[in-house]
């Protein structure tokens, strides 16, 4: 079988405005060729913070220095399989790699996926956001 025209695909874990029904889902993912919705899922190891019109994830090891903060457990999101073009568009939307970084994480039901997150925040910045933790880790319950 000839696979020379087969396009690369990437699984992405969306936890904020890219979730089904949210604004950026309609803008970049809904009814797009090369995008397949795989379902709701969860990841561990991150805490969700509210940045105003959208959330961000911070790895729990950055939050653990704040003893008074309860580190959240599972983040709820949607998993999509996307083609190279859509992945490039997602990188642009998320400001990768300058605003958000991304890494592969294990989901509960869909295997390994990319997730966008904030990395290497300064202590001052982290302290400023600690009051904005979304403890239930589900953006759909906020928006």
Write down the domain spans for the chain: 9-141
Q: CA separation (Å) from 17 to 22, 50, 58, 124?
A: 5, 12, 16, 26
What per-residue confidence (pLDDT) applies to 61? 74
Contact assessment for residue 14 and residue 80, using Cβ atoms and an 8 Å cutoff: yes
- pLDDT tens, residue by residue, 67-108: 455 556 799 999 999 999 999 999 999 999 999 999 999 999
What per-residue confidence (pLDDT) applies to 77? 98
Q: What does pTM read for this prediction?
A: 0.90
Assign domain 9-141 to a CATH class. alpha beta
């Amino acid at each position: 079988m000839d696979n020379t025209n087969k396009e690369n695909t990437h699984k992405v874990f969306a936890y904020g405005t890219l979730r089904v029904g949210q604004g950026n889902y309609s803008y970049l993912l809904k009814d797009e060729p090369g995008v397949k919705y795989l379902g709701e899922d969860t990841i561990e190891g991150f805490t969700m913070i509210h940045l105003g019109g959208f959330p961000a994830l911070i790895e729990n090891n950055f939050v653990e220095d704040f003893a008074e903060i309860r580190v959240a457990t599972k983040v709820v999101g949607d998993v999509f399989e996307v083609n190279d073009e859509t992945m490039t568009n997602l990188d642009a939307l998320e400001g990768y790699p300058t605003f958000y970084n991304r890494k592969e994480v294990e989901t509960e039901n869909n295997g390994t996926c990319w997730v966008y997150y904030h990395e290497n925040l300064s202590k001052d910045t982290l302290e400023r956001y600690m009051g904005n933790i979304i403890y239930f880790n589900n953006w759909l319950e906020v928006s």
